[in-house]
Amino acid sequence: MTTATVSAPRARSTLPSGARTPTLLGLGGAILQLALLGALGPGVLAVVATSLGLGLGLLPILGIGLLFLVAFEYILFAISWLETARVDGLYGFGLPARRPRTSGRGGFGGFMRTLWVQFIDPGMWRAVANAAIAMFFGWLVLGLLTILGSGLVMAFAPLFAGSAVSGVRLDGTGIDVPLVWATPVGALAALVAAACIVGLALLHGVVSRALLVPSREAQLAEEARTSREQRAGAVRAADVERTRIERDLHDGVQPRLVSIGMTLGRAQQKIDSDPEAAKELIAEAHTSTKAAVTELRQLARGIHTSVLDDRGLDAALSALAARSPVPVNLDVRVGDRCSQTAEAALYFVIAESLTNAAKHSRGTDCRVVVRQRDEGMLWARVEDNGIGGATVAPGGGLDGIANRVLGAGGTFRLDSPAGGPTAVEVSVPCAS
């Protein structure tokens, strides 16, 4: 089985443009979320500890424990995903949604490597640590809410307490307060508890920012690395495209033009002695000229597609599917126009994939699906029912696809097991 994944990481947005200033409503939301996490925390920790314990305990028994360890890892990933989404929704840090990491390799070995890559993902562990801290804060908030409520009740206890009552207990502390001191002690306890709750909510925001939001230096380093990778991918894609054009000119158009020149030369020699033979040679050269013009037009279409600029991706892909030697089932659902770079990259990927399917797959059918997703991505999948076994070779068509997508800041995935089918899946930012 052949599986390859190439991606260009997208740099995170900087904090000043996305973070929200804490408001009373935001503090209330943070307090409610902490209280909920404090209530749910023991159950979550029990599930995590149970899956880890069963995994380690049952691992020697025919590897059954491996299933629980896999569950343990992806429970942690689910916690990190939920925690990232929760914190971003609460504070507006502009955090990208967490996605499972992959090794890009197939088979059991590739699966095990994927598990390891996911397990050592520092972002996942930071989010899990933030969730654990939030659960601890939530447990403290629940206790402080108990004290707050009990303090408020104690502050008004003298108004409804009977003469037989000599003291009031402050719940959450186990402290008994004489009735004569109930009002000031209760008010003070409620005030301190409320201040501590607000302090924990503010501290939660500070801790979340420290753990989940990268520093300015880290953001700049990530942006620089992403820019270098995209630039390198664009350069490699241009080299592959230049090599393809040179090959097509050398193997196709150039020999045909040489043949046309030789045919016209023979016609020139026979035009006086054998006019009929000269006419036949001229007609042959005319036919070859039209074929050469067609090849040049197809070559130019591979470099730049005017219909893509004029009528959009749907029309360009419809024309591409109509010219394909292999029948194509086309399903395109896009809304607004994306950037020229994104649409050209996606068109190139689909065109090259259909060409590869016609030349190498021995397939009888292709399916092309294109979608514009909510997160601002242009996604496409090309699948044929051929023999499979496609690989990304340096300088080959798939290498050109991978580098073209990388240069546009997107991701490329090839899945081509022996025996088929072959599937190419790409995602490109609409604003690339």
Please tell me the predicted confidence (pLDDT) of residue 64: 80
Distance between CA atoms of residues 348 and 352, nearest Å: 6
Closest CA to 294 of 241, 253, 351: 253
Please tell me the predicted confidence (pLDDT) of residue 11: 41
Does pLDDT of 48 surpass 80?
Answer: yes
Closest CA to 412 of 83, 2, 1, 8: 8
When pLDDT is averaged across residues 82-90 and rounded to a whole number, the result is 90
3-state secondary structure of 383: strand
Q: Which of 63-72, 80-89, 212-221 has the lowest mean pLDDT?
A: 212-221
3-state secondary structure of 142: helix
Q: Is 54 exposed, middle or buried (0-12, 13-18, 19+ CB in 10 A)?
A: middle
Does pLDDT of 396 surpass 80?
Answer: no
171 vs 183: which has the higher pLDDT: 183
Please tell me the predicted confidence (pLDDT) of residue 238: 62
Percent of the chain topping pLDDT 90: 14
For residue 429, what is the DSSP state? Answer: E
The beta strands (E) that lie in 137-179 are given as: 167-170, 175-178
Please tell me the predicted confidence (pLDDT) of residue 132: 93
pLDDT-based confidence at residue 37 (cuts at 50, 70, 90): very high
Please give the mean pLDDT across all residues of the chain. 78
Please state which CATH class domain 232-429 belongs to: alpha beta
Strands 422-429 and 411-415, by their bridges, are antiparallel
Tell me the domain boundaries of the chain: 20-212, 232-429
Distance between CA atoms of residues 28 and 39, nearest Å: 17
Determine the residue type at 212: L
Does pLDDT of 213 surpass 70?
Answer: yes
Does pLDDT of 19 surpass 70?
Answer: no
Q: Which residues pair with 371 in a beta bridge?
A: 333, 379
Helix axes 182-212, 122-155, angle to 10 degrees: 170
User: Which tens digits make up the pLDDT trace of 375-388?
Assistant: 678 888 888 888 88
238 vs 63: which has the higher pLDDT: 63
pLDDT-based confidence at residue 230 (cuts at 50, 70, 90): low
Instruction: Identify the residue whose tokens are 């929760």.
Output: 86
Q: Is the dihedral of CA 288, 290, 294, 299 positive or negative?
A: positive
- pTM of the complete model beyond 0.75: no
Does pLDDT of 14 surpass 90?
Answer: no
122 vs 256: which has the higher pLDDT: 122
197 vs 165: which has the higher pLDDT: 197
User: Which tens digits make up the pLDDT trace of 124-179?
Assistant: 999 999 999 999 999 999 999 988 888 888 888 777 765 555 667 777 777 777 77
When pLDDT is averaged across residues 362-369 and rounded to a whole number, the result is 86
Does pLDDT of 15 surpass 50?
Answer: no
Please tell me the predicted confidence (pLDDT) of residue 356: 80
When pLDDT is averaged across residues 352-364 and rounded to a whole number, the result is 81
Are 9 and 414 in contact, with CB atoms under 8 Å apart?
no
Distance between CA atoms of residues 161 and 63, nearest Å: 65
Please tell me the predicted confidence (pLDDT) of residue 242: 67
Q: For the CA atoms of the chain, what is the radius of gyration?
A: 33
Closest CA to 424 of 385, 387, 384: 384
Please tell me the predicted confidence (pLDDT) of residue 127: 92
Distance between CA atoms of residues 86 and 208, nearest Å: 11
Are 326 and 354 in contact, with CB atoms under 8 Å apart?
yes
Instruction: Identify the residue whose tokens are 């020999």.
Output: 255
**Cα dist from 89 to 23, 36, 212, whole Å:** 14, 16, 13
Element (H, E) at 175: strand 175-178
Please tell me the predicted confidence (pLDDT) of residue 229: 61
User: Which tens digits make up the pLDDT trace of 297-335?
Assistant: 666 555 556 667 667 777 888 887 887 888 888 888 887
User: Which tens digits make up the pLDDT trace of 247-295?
Assistant: 666 666 677 777 778 888 888 888 878 888 878 888 888 887 877 776 6
Please tell me the predicted confidence (pLDDT) of residue 13: 42
Distance between CA atoms of residues 160 and 175, nearest Å: 20
Element (H, E) at 6: strand 3-7
